[in-house]
């Protein structure tokens, strides 16, 4: 079943006369009819749709391609009743087909048509009844094989996010919630009930193999549409592995005025790959895995930008990025380090070798999507899959079975509850962290953070909070 069947009529004809015809401009006596207008995309871009295909079936059969401004025109048409169909490859990728409409074309008359898709909010409410600020938004799209471009049936697409609860008994507790959808025979999926106001983890899974971690943020909108590609020829994504594929990403980073940006940083989230632009703003990344990935572009004095890219093995994808300047000149200020900074930095300089310390700069260089990923490289710790998209951090030097057990977690000095079986997701994103202290056993753990579990402790210090009592 296509979105066409779900949505019903979605074409809008500019009404200004009988039978859905717009104002008709008389011409000199002619035995032919003509049609003109433009195609508007209310679904993906909220703008005109260059390259849209408009097909007329009737006394004269003709297909017209909209120009760079989304406009189309055709004359020398025999008068009569026509069926109007229009589409675009971006709609086809998500299985969306506007329904056909009929219009009467008359000799010597130019008929003006306004063709538009349905607005995204309406689609979300029809696919997910009740979608909105209270019930959450919707994510629709398709899942394709990156090598063949054929749809993948039976795949899973999942969205997960964290919700935090503070209580006197448990302190800060994080709950991981998720919503998922399974692709149909045409590779299409629909996920309902996702939050519209927070960034989420978004990824596909096929035959037990996870795709790359992606970022999804509806930014207050009710609907997001994402077409994902998946490389079924490779194994599980591993952010610390070496070269993982044959895909390539290259492009140019510029300011909004078109001037190239030198030394801008281009990163592939979830991987260690990164590059810096040259004086011409150009960059190139090689040996990347195929499939959908999130690319982050940063430059000093400019706003960060993230893009979803689909990489094909053995081929190069290109992007042209424009960054907006955000830097402002501020008056001089005096900064006083809070107690949490002193506590972290004091131990970092005086207890060398007792624990493992990770600074804000260390975290920025690794650029993880989730905080758990940082512990792949921390001595005495590892991360383990715990079902679905979950991971848990474990100590490999503790006193638990086989030396593997769950450490205690503290955020800004407050103990937090993390399920030792599922992990449940740490309630702090990498961008919020000032520093991390990791102690894999009781002997090295600071006295005030020791427990009887014997599995050590992880102390996370954030940019926004200090010690709480």
Asked which of 295, 323, 351 is the last residue of a domain, the reply is 323
Q: Could you tell me if 458 and 348 lie in one domain?
A: yes
For residues 364 and 27, give the distance between their C-alpha atoms in angstroms, rounded to a whole number. 66
Q: Where are the alpha helices (DSSP H) in 144-219?
A: none
Residues 349 and 458 occupy one common structural domain? yes
CATH of residue 309: 2.60.40.1120
Residues 6 or more apart in contact with residue 31 via CB below 8 angstroms: 79, 107, 108
Tokens of 303: 């706003």
Examine the fold and report which residue of 84, 118, 152 is the final residue of a domain before the chain moves on. 118
Burial letters 196-233, b for 16+ CB under 10 A, else e: beebbbbbbbbeeebbbbbbbebeeebbbbbbbbbbbe
Amino acid 71: pLDDT = 93
- Rounded to whole angstroms, the maximal C-alpha distance in the chain is 97
Q: Is residue 330 in a domain? A: no
| 215 and 265 part of one domain | no
Instruction: Mark whether 12 and 111 lie in a shared domain.
Output: yes
Q: Which residue range(s) make up the domain with 181? A: 121-230
Number of structural domains the chain divides into: 4
Residue 334: predicted pLDDT: 56
**Per-10-residue mean pLDDT, the chain, length 469:** 43 33 52 91 81 93 92 93 89 73 90 84 78 76 88 92 70 77 91 86 89 83 85 59 74 92 88 85 91 88 86 89 74 55 77 78 82 85 70 74 76 75 66 87 80 82 58
Whether residue 467 lies inside any domain: the answer is no
Same-domain check for residues 277 and 353: no
pLDDT at 241: 44
Specify the residue for token string 């000032």. 434
Please give the helix or strand (H or E) that residue 427 lies within, else none: none
Radius of gyration of the chain (CA): 27
pLDDT of residue 19: 36
Does residue 262 lie within any of the structural domains?
yes
Is 92 strand, coil or helix?
helix
Q: Is residue 236 part of a domain?
A: no
Q: What is the pTM of this model?
A: 0.55
Which of 271, 233, 223 minimizes the C-alpha distance to 152? 233
DSSP of 112-152, one letter per residue? Answer: EEEEEPPPHHHHHHHHSTTTBTTTBEEEEEEEEETTT--B-
Contacts of 433 (CB under 8 A, 6+ apart): 360, 363, 371, 460, 461, 462, 463
Q: Does residue 385 fall inside a structural domain?
A: yes
């Amino acid at each position: 079943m296509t979105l066409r069947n779900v949505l019903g009529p979605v074409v809008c004809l500019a009404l200004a006369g009988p039978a859905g015809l717009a104002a008709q401009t008389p011409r000199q006596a002619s035995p032919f009819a003509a049609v003109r207008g433009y195609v508007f995309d209310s679904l993906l871009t909220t703008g005109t749709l260059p390259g849209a295909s408009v097909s007329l079936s009737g006394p004269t059969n003709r297909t017209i391609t909209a120009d760079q401004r989304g406009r189309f025109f055709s004359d020398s048409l025999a008068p009569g009743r026509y069926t109007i169909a229009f589409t675009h490859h971006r709609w086809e990728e998500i299985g969306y087909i506007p329904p056909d409409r009929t219009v009467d074309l008359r000799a010597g008359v130019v008929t003006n048509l306004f063709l538009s898709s349905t607005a995204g909010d309406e689609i979300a409410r029809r696919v997910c009844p009740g979608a909105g600020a209270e019930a959450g938004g919707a994510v629709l799209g398709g899942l394709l094989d990156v090598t063949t471009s054929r749809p993948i049936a039976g795949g899973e697409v999942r969205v997960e996010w964290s919700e935090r609860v503070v209580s006197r008994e448990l302190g800060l507790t994080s709950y991981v919630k998720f919503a998922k959808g399974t692709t149909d025979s045409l590779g299409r999926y629909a996920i309902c009930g996702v939050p519209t106001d927070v960034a989420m983890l978004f990824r596909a899974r096929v035959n037990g193999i996870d795709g790359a971690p992606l970022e999804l943020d509806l930014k207050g909108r009710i609907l997001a549409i994402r077409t994902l590609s998946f490389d079924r020829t490779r194994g599980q994504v591993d952010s610390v592995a070496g070269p993982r594929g044959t895909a390539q990403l290259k492009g140019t980073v510029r300011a909004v005025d078109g001037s190239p940006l030198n030394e801008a940083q281009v990163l592939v989230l979830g991987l260690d790959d990164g590059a810096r632009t040259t004086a011409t703003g150009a960059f190139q990344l090689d040996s990347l895995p195929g499939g959908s990935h999130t690319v982050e572009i940063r430059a000093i004095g400019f706003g960060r930008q993230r893009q979803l890219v689909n990489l094909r093995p053995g081929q190069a994808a290109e992007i042209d990025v424009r960054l907006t300047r955000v830097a402002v000149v501020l008056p001089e200020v005096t900064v006083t380090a809070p107690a949490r900074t002193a506590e972290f930095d004091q131990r970092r300089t005086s207890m060398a070798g007792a624990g493992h310390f990770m600074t804000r700069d260390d975290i920025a260089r690794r650029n993880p999507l989730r905080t758990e990923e940082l512990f792949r490289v921390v001595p005495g710790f590892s991360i383990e899959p715990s079902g679905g998209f979950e991971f848990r951090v474990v100590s490999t030097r503790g006193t638990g079975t086989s030396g593997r057990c769950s450490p205690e977690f503290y955020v800004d000095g407050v103990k937090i509850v993390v399920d030792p079986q599922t992990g449940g997701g740490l309630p702090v994103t990498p961008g919020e962290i000032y520093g991390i202290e990791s102690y894999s056993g009781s002997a090295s753990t600071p006295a005030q953070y020791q427990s009887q579990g014997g599995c050590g402790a992880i102390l996370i210090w954030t940019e926004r909070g200090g010690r709480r009592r």
